[in-house]
Amino acid sequence: MLDQIRTKLFADGADIEGIKRLAADERISGFTTNPTLMRKAGVENYEAFARELVKEVPDHPISLEVFADDADEIRRQANLIASWGDNVYVKIPVTTTSGESLAPLARELSESGVKVNVTALMTTAQVELIAAALADGAPSYVSVFAGRIADAGVDPLPIMARSVEILEEKAPNAELIWASPRELLNLVQADSIGCHVITMTHDLLAKLDTLGKDLDRFSLETVQMFRNDAVVAAYEL
């Protein structure tokens, strides 16, 4: 089933050894990370980690995120990060922490040749604004957090489908990323609407072999798992 999927798979994480293994997996087309994932992975030196990542994975797009919160410092960080490799996309949040739109800065960076990945979008209004900003710039990504939209009790599929249309209409150099997926079904959904990319954590990528699995067989394996775990635990009644 996976060989019929057109949506590209990007691995989301900050484990260098895991990333190196996935870089050899032909199913993986790119990599993304963020400060939260880096902190969880125990990364202490941002630049050292990022430069090692770019060195180890020179042939895949890599998205590395700024961590400043004002336009001037974000601009400086973005240009520095972009200088680390031709395959680097700089992740810029859709707003500052106070809610100020960073669309003007995204436009400036993109039109200057910096490949950006505008991140943390959740509404079609945000996609419209960012698409207009990226329309005449360098190749870019727009990351809509479908998983978090679903966490809010909202069906993300209509938002994602409309986002694909917006980018095709207004920013043909930009690709839509289905971010923060929760299950493999999201890959099938992303593909069904023509979403260009989906990011997946290493844990979720480990489940790829279950895609298209026969459900009767899956059911039997689940029963066997419960039984085997009970035997290993030596449970008695």
Structure-token pair, residue 156: 């993300």
Candidates 160, 197, 222; CA nearest to 12 is 197
Query: Position of tokens 């961590």?
Result: 67
Candidates 138, 137, 147; CA nearest to 186 is 147
Looking at 51-156, which runs of residues are DSSP E strands?
62-65, 88-93, 116-121, 140-145
CA distances to 71, 105, 106, 218 from 141, rounded to whole Å, are 19, 15, 11, 36
Structure-token pair, residue 60: 């895949």
Rounded to whole angstroms, the Cα distance separating 180 from 200 reads 7
Residue type, 98: S
Tell me, yes or no, if 8 is annotated catalytic.
no
Rounded to whole angstroms, the Cα distance separating 121 from 91 reads 12
Which is it for the CA torsion 25, 168, 34, 198, positive or negative? negative
Which of 40, 55, 91, 115 is the catalytic position? 91
Residues known to be catalytic: 91
